[in-house]
Amino acid sequence: MSSKFSFSDQINLGFDKAVPYLDYPAGLLSQIKACNSVYHITFPLQRANNQIEVIHAWRAEHSHHKRPVKGGVRYAMSVNEDEVVALAASMTYKCALVDVPYGGSKGGVKISRHKYPVEDLERITRRYTYELHEKNFIGPGIDVLAPDYGTGPEEMAWIADTYTALSEDDLNTLACVTGKPVSQGGVRGRIEATGRGVFFGIREVCRDQDDMNVLGLNTGLGDKTFIVQGLGNVGYHAAKFMQEGGATPVGVSEYEGGIYNKDGLDVDAVVTHRREHESIFDFPGAENVASSSELLEYPCDILIPAALQNQITRKNAHRIQANIIGEAANGPVTAAANDILKERGVLLIPDFYLNAGGVTVSYFEWLKNLSHVRYGRMQKRFEESANQRIVEAFEELTNKKLDIDKRQEIIEGPGEEDIVNSGLEDTMIQAYQEMHTARNHHEKSIDLRTAAFIVSINKIARSYRELGIFP
Ligand code: NAD
C-alpha cells in the first residue's frame, strides 16, 4: 500500500512528534535524525545457466554515537536505499531504548530468496560480506550484522566464515555477526528472541490496569484473542509464546492468505498443515481469508503484524477491529494510520520497543563471542554442588523428599538459555517502565511511540553532549 511518505519519512514523522517534549537545539536533533553513511553495492552473480545477474545491495550506518553499529541484513525485493536507511534509524532508537550500547545500522540485498538455490544464496551472501569488508562496513568493533526478513542462521554462518577468512590474526572475528548457529558461536535463545520479546512486551502492556480500563479489557493475557500476520521467525515465535502465555490465536496469515477461527487455532498445527499442504488454506475448522491484508481487519483483541512495513495505512486503519496493535515487524503501521488509530482509542505498541528482543540477545551473543566462553560455564559445577547441599539440607529439615524433576532442576541451576531469557525479560520490562514513566510524565496525553522516542532521543542526546563532537 503506497503513501506519499517514504519509509524513512514515516520514522522521522514519529521522531518529530517527540520534539515538542524535548529541549535540545535543532542542530543536535537534526544530527540525531541524519543517516551517517550509506553504501550501495552492485556485483555480478553467475547463475547455473551461465547467465550473469547484477545484484543490488546496501548497508546503512545511521548513527555512530556509539560503536560498533549493529543491524540485520534483509533479503527481499522491497530493499532499496530508503528502506535500509529507515531500518538503520529504527535500530538506533531501538538500541538506545533497551540500553544496548550500539549505534544503528541495517543492510539488505534486493532479491527474492525463494528464486535462488542455496548455492546462489551462499555466493550472494559471501560476496556481500566481501564487499562490506572491502569498505570497512563490517567488523566486531565496526558494524555487526544479524538476521532480518529473509535471512537466518545459515546466512549468518556464511558471513562469519567469509569475514574470518578475510581477517588474519583476529581472535574476535565471530563477533562480526550475531544470530549464528549455536555450534558456530551463536547463543542459545537467539532464534526465538525477537518473538519472545514481543510476548514479554505485550504481556507488560496488558498488565497496566489504567490502559486496560480505557480499552474495556481485563488485565493479563488469559482472556485475549490475537491475530498474527506472517509466520516467519518473529511471527511464529511471537504467536507460540503468546499461546503458551494464555492468549488465544484466532487468525494467522502468510503471503498467500489467512485463516480465522474465533474459537482458536493451534499455532504449531497450522505450521505443520502449511508445510504439508504448501498453503495455509483449508486448515480444519477455520475459515479461509483470501488475503493477508483482509485478515488484519478481523475481530480480535491484539493484532500482531510480523511481516513487513506499511501494512496498516490510512486506507485500512479505520477498519481495524483490534484494541491493541503490537508492531512485531518494523514499520507495519504508517504515521497517518498511527494518528487514525490513536483517535479511535487503539493502543499501539511501537516496533522499536516491541521487537527489540532480537538485538538484545544479539548483544548477549556478541559479548559471548568477545569473551570466548559460554554463559554459565565457569561456575556451573560450583553452583551445582552448592545447590545440591541446599536441597539436601532442605530435605533433612523438612523430612520430605522433593519431586525428582524439581530436585534436578534446582540442582542444575540456570543454563545459558535461562540466563539469556532472563536477561531478555528484564530488558523488556525495564524498557517498558521507562516508556511508561515518560508517558505518565505527560499525563498519558502522548502515545507509547512518542514516549519511546522521548526516552531514546534523551539517551542519544546525552551521548553527544557528554562525548562532544569531533573534531
Ligand atoms: P522471516 O523472513 O523469518 O519471516 C517473514 C514471514 O512473513 C515469511 O514467512 C513470509 O512468507 C511472510 N510474509 C511475507 N509477506 C507477507 C504478507 N503480506 N502477509 C503475511 N505474511 C507475509 O522474517 P522475520 O525475521 O520474521 O522478520 C519479520 C519482521 O520482523 C521484519 O519487519 C523484520 O525487520 C522484523 N524484525 C526481525 C527481527 C529478527 O530477529 N529476525 C528482529 C527485529 C525485527
Question: Could you write out the DSSP letters of every residue in 288-336?
Answer: EES-HHHHTTS--SEEEE-S-S--B-TTTGGG---SEEE--SSS-B-HH
State residue 444's pLDDT score.
Answer: 80
Distance 114 CA to ligand 1 centre (A): 14
Percent helix, strand, coil in the chain, to 5, is: 50, 15, 35
Q: Which of 334, 293, 337 has its CA nearest to residue 317?
A: 337
Instruction: State the CB neighbour count (10 A cutoff) for residue 20.
Output: 9
User: What is the spatial distance between Cα 126 and Cα 297, in angstroms, rounded to a whole number?
Assistant: 41
Distance 234 CA to ligand 1 centre (A): 6
Cell triple for 79: 530493499
Instruction: State the CB neighbour count (10 A cutoff) for residue 279.
Output: 14
Distance 439 CA to ligand 1 centre (A): 29
pLDDT along the chain (471 residues), means of 10: 83 97 97 98 94 97 97 98 98 98 98 96 98 98 98 98 94 97 96 98 97 97 98 98 98 98 98 98 98 98 97 98 98 97 97 98 97 87 89 90 91 91 98 96 91 98 93 89
Q: Which of 178, 59, 69 has its CA nearest to residue 110?
A: 59
Classified as helix, coil or strand, 378 is: coil
User: What is the spatial distance between Cα 424 and Cα 430, in angstroms, rounded to a whole number?
Assistant: 10
Classified as helix, coil or strand, 389 is: helix
State residue 2's pLDDT score.
Answer: 55
Q: Tell me which residue has its CA closest to atom 35 in ligand 1.
A: 329
**Cβ-contact 102, 126 below 8 angstroms:** no
Is 110 labeled as catalytic in the residue annotation? no
Residue 63: exposure state from Cβ atoms within 10 A (0-12, 13-18, ≥19): buried
Q: Which residues pair with 106 in a beta bridge?
A: 60
Q: How far is CA 256 from CA 37, 113, 312, in A?
A: 36, 16, 18
Q: Tell me which residue has its CA closest to atom 28 in ligand 1.
A: 307
What is 46-107 written as a DSSP string?
A: E-TTS-EEEEEEEEEE---SSSSEE--EEESTT--HHHHHHHHHHHHHHHHHTT---EEEEE
Cell triple for 211: 490502559
State residue 352's pLDDT score.
Answer: 97
**Cβ-contact 440, 215 below 8 angstroms:** no
Mutate to test the pocket of ligand 1, among 77, 112, 233, 256 (most ligand atoms within 8 A of CB): 233
**Cβ-contact 332, 235 below 8 angstroms:** no
Q: Ligand 1 — pocket residues by CB below 6 A? A: 147-150, 194, 229-235, 253-255, 292, 306-308, 328-330, 355, 358
Cell triple for 45: 552473480
State the closest ligand 1 atom to the C-alpha of 146, by its place in the atom list counted from 1: 40
State residue 174's pLDDT score.
Answer: 97
**Cβ-contact 330, 309 below 8 angstroms:** yes
- Does the model's pTM come out above 0.85? yes
| Residues near 232 by beta carbon (within 8 Å), at least 6 away in sequence | 149, 306, 307
